[in-house]
Amino acid sequence: MDTHHPSQPPSAPTIEAGQQALERGAWEEARSAFERAMRSSEQEGSAEVLSGLAEALWWLGEIRESLECWERAYSGFRRRPDPAQAASIAIQLGVLYDANLGNHAAAAGWVARAARLVEEHSLEPLQGWVLLARAAGAADPGQHEALARQAHRLSRTSEDRHLELCALTQIGVALIDQGRITEGMTFHDEAMAGALAGEGELDTVVFTACEMMASYSSCAQYERMAQWIRAADKFVERYGCPYLNASCRTHYGQVLFATGDWPRAEEELHAALRLSENSLPAVQARALANLAELRLAQGRVEEAERLMSGFEDHDASAPVCTRIHLLQGKFALAAATAQRWLDVIGEMRLESTSLLELMGEAEIGQAQIEAATGRGRTLAEMGSTLDCQVMLARGERLQGRALAAASDPAAKVHLDAALRAFVRLEMPYEAARTRLMLARAIRGSEPEIAEAEARAALAAFENVGAVTDIESTTILLREFKRTGKAPDPASLTRRELEVLRLVAQGLSDKEVATMLVLSRHTVHRHVHSILTKLDRPSRTAATAYAVRHGLL
At 7, is the pLDDT very low, low, confident or very high (cuts 50, 70, 90)? Answer: very low
Task: Sort 65 into a burial class: Cβ within 10 Å, 0-12 / 13-18 / 19+.
Answer: middle
| pLDDT for 159 | 92
Say how far apart CA 550 and CA 528 lie, in whole Å: 20
Say how far apart CA 509 and CA 442 lie, in whole Å: 30
Say how far apart CA 270 and CA 282 lie, in whole Å: 16
Question: Mean per-residue pLDDT for 339-361?
Answer: 90
Judge if 1-80+87-102 and 123-244 fold alike in CATH terms: yes
Output 345 or 20, whichever has higher pLDDT.
20
Spatial neighbors of 369 by CB under 8 A, at least 6 apart, are: 363, 402, 403, 405, 406
The pTM of this model reads: 0.77
Task: Sort 41 into a burial class: Cβ within 10 Å, 0-12 / 13-18 / 19+.
Answer: exposed
| pLDDT for 81 | 92
Q: Is the pLDDT of residue 518 over 70?
A: yes
| pLDDT for 245 | 79
Whose CA is closest to 329, among 549, 543, 496? 543
Output 413 or 503, whichever has higher pLDDT.
413
CB 191 within 8 Å of CB 206: no
| pLDDT for 386 | 84
| pLDDT for 475 | 86
- Model confidence over 184-225: pLDDT tens digits? 999 999 999 999 999 999 999 999 999 999 999 888 888 898
| pLDDT for 277 | 79
Whose CA is closest to 391, among 400, 382, 399? 382
| pLDDT for 483 | 62
What CATH number labels 123-244? Answer: 1.25.40
Say how far apart CA 195 and CA 192 lie, in whole Å: 5
At 473, is the pLDDT very low, low, confident or very high (cuts 50, 70, 90)? Answer: very high
For 54, what's the count of Cα atoms within 13 Å in the CB-facing half-sphere?
21
Please list, residue by residue across 402-425, b when 16 or more beta carbons sit within 10 angstroms of its beta carbon and e when fewer do. Answer: bbbbbbbeebbebbbbbbbbbeeb
What is the residue-wise DSSP string for 428-479?
A: HHHHHHHHHHHHHHHTTT-HHHHHHHHHHHHHHHHHHT-HHHHHHHHHHHHH
For 20, what's the count of Cα atoms within 13 Å in the CB-facing half-sphere?
7
CATH T-level fold of 494-548: Arc Repressor Mutant, subunit A (1.10.10)
CB 535 within 8 Å of CB 487: yes
Answer whether the bond into residue 489 is a cis peptide, omega within 30°: no
Domain segments of the chain as ranges: 1-80+87-102, 123-244, 494-548
Say how far apart CA 500 and CA 527 lie, in whole Å: 7
Q: Is the pLDDT of residue 530 over 70?
A: yes
Spatial neighbors of 201 by CB under 8 A, at least 6 apart, are: 162
- Model confidence over 231-273: pLDDT tens digits? 998 888 888 877 777 888 899 999 999 999 999 999 999 998 9
- Model confidence over 97-156: pLDDT tens digits? 988 888 889 999 999 999 999 999 999 999 999 999 999 989 899 999 999 999 999 999
At 3, is the pLDDT very low, low, confident or very high (cuts 50, 70, 90)? Answer: very low
Question: Mean per-residue pLDDT for 355-366?
Answer: 94
| pLDDT for 2 | 41
Composition of the chain by helix, strand, coil, percent to 5: 80, 0, 20
CATH superfamily membership of 1-80+87-102: Tetratricopeptide repeat domain (1.25.40.10)
Q: Is the pLDDT of residue 5 over 70?
A: no
Say how far apart CA 495 and CA 512 lie, in whole Å: 11
Say how far apart CA 492 and CA 490 lie, in whole Å: 5
At 6, is the pLDDT very low, low, confident or very high (cuts 50, 70, 90)? Answer: very low
Locate the DSSP E strands across 225-348: none
Whose CA is closest to 439, among 465, 467, 472, 406? 472
Spatial neighbors of 440 by CB under 8 A, at least 6 apart, are: 404, 450, 476, 486, 489, 549, 550
3-state secondary structure of 201: coil
Whose CA is closest to 326, among 546, 495, 88? 546
Q: Is the pLDDT of residue 72 over 80?
A: yes
